[in-house]
Amino acid sequence: MNNSTKPTNVSNKKDSHENSHDEHSHYLLPFLLILVFAIVELIGSRWTGSLALFSDAGHMFSDVAALGLAWLAGTLAKKPNAAKHASGVSYAELTVSIINAITMLGVSIFVVIEAIARFKQPQPVQGLGVILLASIGFVVNLIVAKQLHNQSHHHGDDLNSRAAFLHVLGDLAGSATAIIAGVVIYFTNWTPIDPILSILISLLILVPTIKLARDIWETLQHNKALPHEYDLEQDEDEHTHDHDGAH
């Protein structure tokens, strides 16, 4: 009787481990795609002299960190002994989301400072090179955004997936901005468009970043649950366990 029970327990643990692995493995492809092209775009920004392209590369590198940290936090949050806030969100998830928000804020401020410097000392920009690289970047970000969006329907709109998706949306806007800058420079040779659009995209990215920061603040201060599909069975088991312990 004991022999027939053990394989079942082992099988259940194996299935649980595989499900946990599948739930977070969807970050791997976006992570690799963005990492590779972020390096390409960073090198390309030096070659073309485009600040818009540089800012897009910066946001893509922040995406690499966001996706990697989201996977790590999601894995830690699935552990039975993972510490959770009163709202039900794991502290690991909250920490990662805070890091993501700070990263986006830092990159945006840096780009604005560099753009102001470009107004004072204009630099030549290769419009055609910007168009080509930014167009490829747009396609890459579109693929990643679509995959993250599809996965959110299967695994729930948790805070980390939301933060990572916001990063990719920022990159999509950044790539589109760089394309516009490249087209204008290529046909008119008016280089101020590069820092102007760089500032614009930085300001636009601040909107979802501030909203994310506000949600985090409300969670920490008011125990308000963030958009998240919790495991109701697990919550019920924990409640039952606490109730039994009281007796």
pTM (whole model) above 0.85: no
Model confidence at 217, pLDDT cuts 50, 70, 90, reads confident
Model confidence at 98, pLDDT cuts 50, 70, 90, reads confident
Q: What is the pLDDT of residues 21-30, one digit of tens each?
A: 445 556 778 8
Residue 81, pLDDT > 60, answer yes
Percent of the chain whose pLDDT exceeds 90: 21
**Is CATH 1.20.1510.10 the right assignment for the domain spanning 27-228?**
yes
Residue 12: the pLDDT is: 46
Residues 6+ apart with CB under 8 A from 217: none
Q: What is the pLDDT of residues 117-135, one digit of tens each?
A: 999 888 899 999 999 999 9
Residue 16: the pLDDT is: 45
Residues 74-91, mean pLDDT to the nearest whole number:
64
Residue 184: the pLDDT is: 96
Residue 10: the pLDDT is: 44
Residue 20: beta bridge partners?
Answer: none
Residue 24: the pLDDT is: 54
Let me know: does 40 contact 133? Beta carbons within 8 Å.
Answer: yes
By residue count, the chain amounts to 247
Place of tokens 């030549």: 124
Let me know: does 26 contact 67? Beta carbons within 8 Å.
Answer: no
Residue 226: the pLDDT is: 47
Q: What is the pLDDT of residues 131-159, one digit of tens each?
A: 999 999 999 989 888 877 776 555 545 56
Residue 233: the pLDDT is: 38
Let me know: does 181 contact 52? Beta carbons within 8 Å.
Answer: yes
Let me know: does 85 contact 228? Beta carbons within 8 Å.
Answer: no
Task: Phi first, then psi: give them for residue 231, nearest 5 degrees.
Answer: -80, 100
State how far the alpha carbon of 207 is from the alpha carbons of 47, 137, 189, 204, 239, in Å: 31, 22, 31, 6, 38
Buried b / exposed e over 115-142, threshold 16 CB at 10 Å, is: beebeeeeeebbbebbbebbeebbebbe
How do the domains of the chain map onto residue ranges?
Answer: 27-228
Q: What is the pLDDT of residues 190-211, one digit of tens each?
A: 999 999 998 887 887 777 778 7
Q: Which of 39, 48, 43, 66 is nearest to 178 (CA)?
A: 48
Q: What is the pLDDT of residues 56-72, one digit of tens each?
A: 887 788 777 777 766 76
Residue 146: the pLDDT is: 82
